[in-house]
Structure 1
């Protein structure tokens, strides 16, 4: 490659990294809101016992048959009532198969929340028969643990029978380069004035950079006019951790109620996740 072309490519890469994520313009908050289980549903699943964990619907399938070279995701969503935020991850043969980084440190706060829902995604790229097996989604807190198992069966028949698979020559032996958010917070209902951690863990190569946007209130049309980018200098209110999570300090109904959109970006693409934060005021008579 001519030296001038190499310089041009290098400058372009630096430009993309410097400009960061563009303002998201295609986030459908109405669709997102419809996927969050109502509080009444979560309470019924957990029998209203404090600290109880439950998987929300739709739960991961018990059996999933796929074709060789197919790519797909397993999704698992867990909710806790009146307890600390859960840790949610995937296991196979007794070992964690979720991207791990520092996932053990799910929350640097010890506050008990009214309700927290976490969403975990396990991605499969161009599967082969060796990927068949039992995959276990685990949700746990210091006082409770639940799990659900999905048996993945990779069929070895002709992949041409399914439109969802890639020809073998298009399957890559390398990890997907574009960003992929594998752990995020769906909903967080903290007690007012508590610190809150909204999760947004991603993978990609090179490692993605995260940006956060705030969409105040209950408006459902996320246009750029309503979105405010959270800036690094707002440290008195926000902190973006090295793993991509966002800390909202002393959350209040007046200033912090609304949608928080996390964007993960690298040279090969973008991925987004949406969290809804709803601080809860103490009931009359409570201190």
Structure 2
């Protein structure tokens, strides 16, 4: 995606707030790696396996930037991501990178994983995994905000968003759920502050995350 003209109220930055340990070991169970970064604008997070990108995140908060063109915006956000590393029957040593990018800065961290190999590993169709989501967002009241909820799998999964009162959000003038799973909130006001829940589900189960949104004074 091309860069959009931005009128940021603060200087862009990017920092990791949570990273996997440098060395991990898998024995009889799958391992979950989690990575988290904060920045202006909100970062996206991708993962690389032995130097190769596992999947590409097509866009960041580009949709909200279109709606907010010409406005002064905060675009301060915390993005979290996780991947599941399956145990295997053979011993392997692999390397995973967490890659954070907010179109101004890039960061990466490396984890080396030793898979000890186990005959107790079981692989079956499972519930979806939300791979990248907004953990927290700050934006000026009156602007449009985009909350991430991305899933990368080969199973057909449904994405549903709920507000803090557990009311299901539908596509309407106020809200829009993107094809990639993100929630768009238009014309934000103080009453929009709170925790929003994204639920990814299929016939085998579900995964859910919570995203906190704080609208500041315009």
**TM-score of the two chains, using structure 2 as the length reference:** 0.84
Q: Deviations over 1:93-128 (max 9, x none)?
A: 332114x4xx22122233653520011111112335
Cα deviation, residue 86, structure 1: 1.0
Match of residue 53 from structure 2: 96
The answer as to whether partners of 2:134 and 2:147 remain within 8 angstroms in 1 is: yes
> Using the alignment, how far apart are the partners of 1:270 and 1:104 within structure 2?
23
Gaps of 5+ in 2: 1-9
Cα deviation, residue 77, structure 1: 0.4
Cα deviation, residue 133, structure 1: 1.7
Could you tell me which of 59, 63, 69 is aligned with 1:105?
59
1:243 aligns with 2:204: no
Match of residue 132 from structure 2: 183
1:73 aligns with 2:32: yes
Match of residue 94 from structure 2: 133
The answer as to whether partners of 2:91 and 2:114 remain within 8 angstroms in 1 is: no
The answer as to whether partners of 2:91 and 2:116 remain within 8 angstroms in 1 is: no
* CA shift in 2, pair 1:203/1:131, >3 Å: farther
The answer as to whether partners of 2:138 and 2:214 remain within 8 angstroms in 1 is: yes
SS at match of 1:109: helix
Match of residue 86 from structure 1: 43
Cα deviation, residue 256, structure 1: 0.9
Could you tell me which of 120, 133, 150 is aligned with 1:167?
120
Could you tell me which of 29, 52, 64 is aligned with 2:13?
52
Could you tell me which of 80, 95, 98 is aligned with 1:119?
80
Cα deviation, residue 131, structure 1: 5.1
> Using the alignment, how far apart are the partners of 2:161 and 2:38 within structure 1?
23
**TM-score of the two chains, using structure 1 as the length reference:** 0.65
Cα deviation, residue 199, structure 1: 1.0
Between Structure 1 and Structure 2, which shows a larger proportion of helix residues? 1
Match of residue 8 from structure 1: none
Q: Deviations over 1:197-237 (max 9, x none)?
A: 1111124554111111101xxxxxxxxxx3211123xx211
Q: Deviations over 1:171-216 (max 9, x none)?
A: 22x6x4311111111001012222111111124554111111101x
* CA shift in 2, pair 1:95/1:231, >3 Å: same
SS at match of 1:146: strand
Cα deviation, residue 72, structure 1: 1.2
Between Structure 1 and Structure 2, which shows a larger proportion of strand residues? 2
Could you tell me which of 215, 224, 230 is aligned with 2:169?
230
Aligned residues: 202
Match of residue 202 from structure 1: 151
SS at match of 2:15: strand
**Alignment root-mean-square deviation, CA:** 2.1
